[in-house]
Structure 1
Amino acid sequence: MQALYPEIKPYARHTLAVEAPHELYVDESGMPEGLPVVFIHGGPGGGCDALSRRFFDPTLYRIVTFDQRGCGRSTPHASLENNTTAHLVADMEKIREHLGIEQWVLFGGSWGSTLALAYAQAHPERVLGLVLRGIFLCRPQDLQWFYQEGASHVFPDYWEDYIAPIPAAERGELIPAFYKRLTGDDQIAQMHAAKAWSVWEGRTATLRPNPNVVERFGDPRRALAMARIECHYFMHQIFLEEGQLLRDMHKISHLPGVIVHGRYDMVCPLDNAWDLHKRWPNSELVIVRDAGHAAGEPGIADALVRATNQMARRLLDLPQNVE
């Protein structure tokens, strides 16, 4: 098993003003002259943390992490104003230009894989390669599976807690019902809904129960951003045309990619990765047989570290047999 790299501190931190009212938190770590890679976090609304930097060899990579609009250390917190996929793609371009990076590797998991694909299809000339995990195509069937009916049959006990804030009469359309509460004026109802939404995701993200993951997702500040921003995007079909990500794969089919996906991913089932791989002839699909959705699961982490090492060797023309 390839271990995660040790924790490192950023060598530079930036506050980058984008379209009002947003300011983005950005940091850099690793090797300043190394192969640029941008870590694209999940959610939308999740934010980065110390784990985000540990998938990359810090002697080879210049590691860029940033918190997307409304989450993590970016401000204003949990804001939905001017917060769409197009805005996030434009933010990534602004970060790249601000840091003087010509081209970079994209590393994204879950929603981060969604945004990575959207960015790459918009700016293929700026992308060297992609390492993606827990593919989330955000198709209607994907949202239906996790937020309405599907995963509910696998986790009926957790499901009861998820739907608890919603009256029985509104449970036929759960995303709109949550959205009404998450954007309403009743702050108690808002937080109750946010925690139920976020903890459902945390409980189902790992193959084996992980209290640390559940606790992290249940943190009130994180839960509010995750639930509000995710629900906002899902209410608006992630601000993309239906089927757009698969339809436009021809724009980036020449780029090298590694897709890592857990066999028992209950948040984003494996057919997301399978369908993407079939549209991407230059991709390698790694199915981790004993894992769910979370990046920190041992098999997923091992595959991701191997993938970033492989990508660095390929792009930097290093010996291929060095681990």
Structure 2
Amino acid sequence: MTTLFPLAEAFRTHWLPVDGGHRLFVAEYGRPDGVPVVVLHGGPGSGGSPRLAGLFDPARFRVIVPDQRGAGRSEPAGATLANTTAELLGDIDLICAVLGVGRCFVAGGSWGATLGILHAAQRPAQVRGLLLRNPFLARAEDLAWFFGGARQRHPEAWQRWAALGAPEAEGAMLPWLADVFARLDARQAGPWVQAWQRWECALAGVPAGTLGDAEVAALFRRYRLQLHYFTQCCFVPPDAVLDAADQLVAARLPMRVVQGLADDVCPPAATRLLAARLPAGACRWVEGVGHDPFAPAMVAASMAAWAELSGE
């Protein structure tokens, strides 16, 4: 197939209380007795979507899409207290335990791929295989690229940041932005949110839409949550994701990676470092596609990779 399966209502939803005062929203799609697939959204803080379940045949699979702490419909929205990578990984374990999920496939794109790799390295016996799209390696150089390093490739989008006083010195933009967002409230955030959204869309290779007040408020919460993670190097040691991938290879855990060659959010150069550690043929490279998981060529490549992984 080269198109997503039709959108459908969740057959079951859950509100799961976890520590730190959080409640996680979890939706299940497809077949209640199907082969389980846990789908991890990006961000941090982007939230799940029914469209993320569309890669998986609803007649065969039970697709579980949780909203991570502070993201999507989980509550409190945008909360950073008790919100670290270790806690997100613990939440995956809890979700699987409460929902009675045994061995499952795990799928994720961008930050979701980060979590998928780290989770599988912690629980290899519980994972059947990994489907990863445009993985984020969560290294200092990945953050430096996104926060200013890509400005020569996207000068028009950078001008919005420059007009707000963004520094160009290497490594300076992220702390500057964290300081700005710590002092802003949602009523003042419009120019910075719009600049960030335009920048992100330029790097992702997708159109930037017009933002209303509700969209600005939602993105403000999301970006503050991202800054909480990014200023702490995502709460993981350097090269933690690559080291975890080495563990998965040693454990012979099946993996497929799909990477858009036009992506400047999670560039192919980083994915090539991951691919070098994986068995030959584990990666598919998609011409002319950036960070958009729903671009037709990305959907086709993801479905082909999924068919290999799941034996469809």
Counterparts of residues 74-113 of structure 1 (less than 5 Å): 74-113=74-113
Over 3 Å counting, the alpha-carbon distance change for 1:167 and 1:245 in structure 2 is closer
Query: How far 1:238 moved relative to its partner?
Result: 0.6
Counterparts of residues 141-152 of structure 1 (less than 5 Å): 141-149=141-149, 151-152=150-151
Query: How far 1:168 moved relative to its partner?
Result: 5.2
Amino acid paired to 2:257: I
1: CA distance, partners of 2:204 / 2:168: 28
Amino acid paired to 2:60: L
Query: How far 1:20 moved relative to its partner?
Result: 2.1
Structure 2 partner of 1:14: 14
Question: Mean alpha-carbon deviation: is it higher for 160-169 or for 193-202?
Answer: 160-169
- Partner SS for 2:29: strand
Structure 1 partner of 2:266: 268
Structure 2 partner of 1:321: none
Structure 1 partner of 2:197: 198
- Partner SS for 1:42: coil
Query: How far 1:303 moved relative to its partner?
Result: 0.9
Structure 2 partner of 1:210: 207
* Number of aligned positions between the proteins: 309
Structure 1 partner of 2:29: 29
- Partner SS for 1:20: helix
Counterparts of residues 110-129 of structure 1 (less than 5 Å): 110-129=110-129
Structure 1 partner of 2:177: 178
Amino acid paired to 2:176: A
Over 3 Å counting, the alpha-carbon distance change for 1:269 and 1:163 in structure 2 is same
Scaled by the length of structure 2, what TM-score is found?
Answer: 0.92
- Partner SS for 2:66: strand
Would you say the 8 A contact 1:166–1:177 is kept in 2? no
Segments of 5+ residues of structure 2 without an aligned counterpart are: none
Query: How far 1:219 moved relative to its partner?
Result: 2.1
2: CA distance, partners of 1:264 / 1:202: 12
Query: How far 1:59 moved relative to its partner?
Result: 0.9
The partner residue of 2:244 within 214, 226, 248 is: 248
Query: How far 1:21 moved relative to its partner?
Result: 1.6
- Partner SS for 1:266: coil
Query: How far 1:52 moved relative to its partner?
Result: 1.3
Deviations 1:80-121 (A, max 9, x none): 111110010001110000100111111100111111111111
2: CA distance, partners of 1:278 / 1:167: 35
Query: How far 1:220 moved relative to its partner?
Result: 1.7
2: CA distance, partners of 1:289 / 1:215: 29
Amino acid paired to 1:119: H
2: CA distance, partners of 1:271 / 1:170: 22
2: CA distance, partners of 1:221 / 1:100: 36
Identity %: 32
Structure 2 partner of 1:307: 305
Scaled by the length of structure 1, what TM-score is found?
Answer: 0.89
Structure 2 partner of 1:286: 284
Structure 2 partner of 1:231: 227
2: CA distance, partners of 1:181 / 1:21: 27
Query: How far 1:178 moved relative to its partner?
Result: 1.1
- Partner SS for 1:54: helix
2: CA distance, partners of 1:172 / 1:98: 42
Would you say the 8 A contact 1:166–1:178 is kept in 2? no
2: CA distance, partners of 1:127 / 1:283: 20
Would you say the 8 A contact 2:261–2:289 is kept in 1? yes
Query: How far 1:169 moved relative to its partner?
Result: 9.1
Would you say the 8 A contact 1:255–1:282 is kept in 2? no
